[in-house]
Amino acid sequence: MNVTRRTLLAAGAAAPLLPALEAHAQARWQMATPYPDGNFHTRNNRQFIEEVQAATSGRVQIQIHSNGSLMPMPQIKRGVQQGQVQIGEILLSAYGNEDPFFEVDGIPMLAPTIAQARRLNELSRPFIEARFQRQGLSLLHVVAWPNSGFYSNAPIETVESLRGTRFRTFSVMTNRFATLVGANPVLIQAAEVPQAFATGVVNAMVTSAATGVDSSAWDFSRIYTPVGFTHTRNAVFINRRALEALSAADQAAIRAAATAAETRGWRLAEEAIAANEATLAQRGMTVTQPSPVLLEALNRVGVEMAREWVTRAGEDGARLIAAYNG
């Protein structure tokens, strides 16, 4: 047998092995999230990853980088678009400078209960999916934060109590709110909150009890006043090219795990409301119910901010608010 024939036979014998090798090829992905390991969003995402890896028999491996350790939240969406990481998680309303539509769940008092937040999510999600698709992204799941309230060292009994405070902001909407009530807005990312309070850069903020627990708010704040200010949402999304490179079966497995993560995440958000408020109280903070005067004033500010938002968000924004209020 000459060399040429032996080479051809060897190639023929190896050919049937190629599909098998391809079937076991792995996608090794990175996921960036700005939230710490103990946060319920991160715990939910770890379970999502475990379910994806199990459902794909290990063909898809995902390593999560929590607490902004890989990239800060303002860079995550661009990082996924450019393929630096394959999956990312962001606070949608923090991206209002990119597209005002992302700000909708940051409108104060628009959706003060979980039930209202669910409805707003259902109505707004198709608009968000369309935007992500145009940017080479695919939306996986969206989960709300628990209702938010004010952190302060003096009682917040009226909206005037916020006047002159150094108010931590994290989005276009929180910045606008601070301006409208006469506070001084200071942009601070979640991971930097404790240091900002400790150094006097800020002395008041509005955020969820979950973030309060994450940041050990009892170390720098005495009072938490839950007002149902917002139920802002986190979006988890994937680079569409990376997703579509998988087999149809593995893509379907990821979608199924994402659906489960969304259902589970909303349940965790609702459960976290009482649990995190209890933790704040156990750690020595005063959890005080808002006065009717404060709520009435917040509602007035919210109505004004909703009007402003519609002018920025255009036709899609007007359609969403009309459907939500209908």
Closest CA to 218 of 162, 274, 287: 287
What is the total residue count of the chain? 326
Contacts of 254 (CB under 8 A, 6+ apart): 52, 55, 56, 60, 140, 238, 243, 246
Closest CA to 119 of 129, 110, 128: 110
Residue 86 DSSP one-character state: S
Closest CA to 72 of 191, 170, 234: 191
Domains, the chain, ordered by start: 27-325 (3.40.190.170)
Residues facing 87 on adjacent strands:
31, 238
pTM of the prediction?
0.85
Q: Are 194 and 215 in contact (CB under 8 A)?
A: yes
From the first residue on, what is the mean pLDDT of each consecutive set of 10 residues in the chain (326 residues)? 42 41 69 94 98 97 96 96 98 94 96 95 97 98 96 96 96 94 94 94 95 94 96 97 97 98 97 94 97 97 97 96 95
- Percent composition of the chain: helix, strand, coil (DSSP 3-state, to 5): 55, 15, 25
In what order do the strands lie in the sheet containing 204-208? 184-187, 166-169, 204-208, 148-152, 223-226, 286-287
Q: What confidence score (pLDDT) does residue 271 get? A: 93
Q: What confidence score (pLDDT) does residue 11 get? A: 42
